[in-house]
Amino acid sequence: MGHAHVTEVTSVEKHKFEHEFAKQCVDRELSNSVNKEHDRQRFEESCMCIAEFMMKDLTAIEAEKFLAENKSAQSLRIRFDTAAYHCLQESELPQEPELFGKK
């Protein structure tokens, strides 16, 4: 048979991925924040939601690349967009002004 074997991701790897991904997400979002302490909780909730959504279909290869090599597979980037849409569309955050071209 000419197909690649997909290795299951252990729960430990998933847990590590979830927390490391959420931490990097919060750090990235806070780097653009003018009120870091105020924004931290909101970002932590959003980023954890995204990480949980992404890890549902996480493969061992994706987890290894992210955790060991600090690289994101293209499939993770695509899944991130879907997860961000899923997590952020449901939150009713107050509309913030767009300043200095910030999205």
3-state secondary structure of 91: coil
pLDDT greater at residue 73 or residue 27: 27
Q: How far apart are CA 32 and CA 103, in angstroms?
A: 11
In a domain? residue 4: no
pTM (whole model) above 0.85:
no
In a domain? residue 102: no
In a domain? residue 1: no
**Which range of residues forms the domain containing residue 33?**
11-89
Q: How far apart are CA 42 and CA 12, in angstroms?
A: 26
- At 1 the pLDDT is 43
In a domain? residue 5: no
Give CA separation, 23 vs 88, 99, 100, in Å: 17, 25, 26
In a domain? residue 101: no
- At 20 the pLDDT is 93
In a domain? residue 32: yes
The domain tally of the chain equals: 1
17-71 pLDDT tens trace: 999 999 999 999 999 889 998 899 989 999 999 999 998 888 888 888 888 887 7
- At 88 the pLDDT is 87
83-103 pLDDT tens trace: 999 998 865 555 555 555 554
Q: How far apart are CA 74 and CA 77, in angstroms?
A: 5
In a domain? residue 98: no
Q: How far apart are CA 9 and CA 2, in angstroms?
A: 22
